[in-house]
Structure 1
Amino acid sequence: MGNLYIKALHIIFVVTWFAGLFYMVRLLIYHTEAQVRPDAERKVLQEQYRIMLTRLWYGITWPSAVLTLVFGLSTLFSGNWHLIVFRPEGRWLLIKLVLVLLLYGYHFSLQYLYKTQLRGKFQYSSQQLRVWNEVATIFLVAIVMLVVVKTGLSLVWALGGLLVFVIVLMSAIRIYKNIRSGK
């Protein structure tokens, strides 16, 4: 019974972590777009975005990432999942853990973007940040599919489906850009 509570807490913090990751990049986009505003408006917007970014990053996103890890590892070991990671029936879990490690790499990339923007350096356009925002979506889809479907998921079908999903996402970003620019 206790394992179920730990697993539930893990899922709750995964959800809040992803919410933070998704909204963080949106705020970075808005912060970047504020650069082209008239001086008075830009200063007000950027100060507000700095406050919002900091509260989101350190109040929600980082704590959720840490608690996701704590409850995830607790679930892994209390449920004895660690015993099957390197067995054929645990291949899905091994792939999931690799994806989770890459997701933490994505998290650290946002830490870098956050710190860079707070220093007043805007290295990426809002369009580039929109594309980067979808990386979290790709991780979310891949990880959830692995967890739900597990061994019934053929690697070839999974990669093919993920590729189609990425193409659809990138097409949607392109269409949105064209709509915004009036084309």
Structure 2
Amino acid sequence: MLWIKALHIVFIAAWFAGLFYLPRIFVNLAQVPANSQAERDRLLMMADKLLRFTTMLAVPALVFGLWLWLGYGIGKGPGNAWMHAKLTVVLLVLGYHHACGVLLRKFHRGENQRSHVWYRWFNELPVLLLLTAVVLVVVKPF
């Protein structure tokens, strides 16, 4: 079980690292001048690869988490409301991951309507989600 926990943590950490950096690429894409096609193409390629990589990391992270939850019963039973809160945060992170994919497709189509400042704020959301998840798992306030 400790190996599964360790792998879960490693995959989650790597997944979040990608989710921290992908919106930063969006900030750069929003600042690319219209006449700089090579720069835009390079940033889009980087974003595509990073989104694919974070998706590949998310799958085992979720599988190991489900294994711990369903297989070992971690977070089940009375006094484990923290697990329900954590699962809510996980759903929010999955939604954020999906939103990144939607935004990237808009960049590919040239339909970006947002400023680099908006993407800077969007970039802060996974930090808040990660802090919430860590508090729920380590402190278990419920």
**Same topology, TM > 0.5:** yes
Equivalent residue runs for 1:14-33 within 5 Å: 14-33=12-31
Moved over 3 A (4+): none
- Taking structure 2 as the reference length, the TM-score comes to 0.94
Specify the alignment match of 1:74 in structure 2.
Answer: 67
Specify the alignment match of 2:83 in structure 1.
Answer: 93
Q: Match of 1:102, as an amino acid?
A: L
Q: Quick one: higher RCO (CA 8 Å, sep 6+), 1 or 2?
A: 2
- Spell out, residue by residue over 1:61-80, the C-alpha distance to the aligned partner (whole angstroms, 9 max, x if none): 11111111111101112321
Q: Match of 2:107, as an amino acid?
A: Q
Structure having the higher helix fraction is 1
Q: Match of 1:123, as an amino acid?
A: Q
Q: Given the alignment, which residue of 100, 107, 124 partners 1:110? A: 100
Q: Given the alignment, which residue of 46, 54, 61 partners 2:48? A: 54
Query: Is 1:45 the counterpart of 2:39 in the alignment?
Result: yes
- Spell out, residue by residue over 1:105-128, the C-alpha distance to the aligned partner (whole angstroms, 9 max, x if none): 111111100111111111211100
Partners of 1:97 and 1:80 in 2: how far apart? Answer: 14
Partners of 1:117 and 1:93 in 2: how far apart? Answer: 36
Give unmatched runs, 5+ long, in structure 1.
Answer: 155-183
Q: Is the 8 A contact 2:86 2:137 kept in 1?
A: yes
Per the alignment, do residues 48 and 116 of structure 1 end up closer, same or farther by CA in structure 2, a change over 3 Å counting? Answer: same
Partners of 2:106 and 2:27 in 1: how far apart? Answer: 13
- Spell out, residue by residue over 1:33-89, the C-alpha distance to the aligned partner (whole angstroms, 9 max, x if none): 11x36x2xx11110110110111111x2111111111111011123212532xx2x1
Q: Match of 2:51, as an amino acid?
A: W
Q: CA deviation at 1:133?
A: 0.8
Equivalent residue runs for 1:153-172 within 5 Å: 153=141
